[in-house]
């Protein structure tokens, strides 16, 4: 495991989680590390995702979904593009991208999961 009970919850570890593919998290992040993540840490991951999206030319929005029982991240995402929104424009919001990703990881609907979205600007 890359991140385990002995790992510090710091900027470097949160950045690593933000940049890892969500499907890789169970292999790279130990349950004991996930238990140490506070709500503020999870929001920081969402901010890092938003910053990553902005750096890549997308909208500065990030989202993280966790399982409240295990505190494991089951989905995370960004809005990779921005465009002028009109009344007929369909926008794929990060929470929907993230929800779709999380249901792949955990096939049940997410009644016990929390959603956090934010924009760093």
- Residue pLDDT, tens place only, 16-37: 999 998 889 989 999 999 999 9
- Burial class for 21, CB neighbours closer than 10 Å (0-12, 13-18, 19+): exposed
Report the length, in residues, of the chain. 121
Domains by residue range for the chain, with CATH:
11-118 (3.40.140.10)
* CB distance 25 to 73 below 8 Å: yes
DSSP 98: H
CB atoms within 10 A of CB 104: 11
Could you read off the pLDDT of 62-84 as tens digits, one per residue?
888 888 888 888 888 887 666 54
| Global pTM value | 0.75
């Amino acid at each position: 495991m890359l991140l385990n009970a002995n790992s510090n919850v710091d900027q470097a570890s949160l950045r690593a989680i933000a940049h890892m593919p969500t499907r890789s998290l169970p292999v790279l992040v130990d349950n004991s590390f996930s238990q140490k993540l506070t709500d503020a840490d999870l929001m920081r991951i969402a901010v890092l995702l938003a910053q990553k999206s902005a750096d890549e030319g997308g909208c500065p929005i990030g989202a993280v979904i966790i399982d409240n029982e295990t505190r494991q991240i089951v989905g995370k995402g960004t809005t990779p593009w921005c465009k002028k929104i009109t009344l007929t424009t369909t926008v794929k919001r990060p929470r929907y991208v993230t929800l779709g990703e999380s249901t792949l990881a955990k096939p049940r609907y997410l009644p016990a999961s929390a959603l956090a979205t934010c924009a760093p600007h």
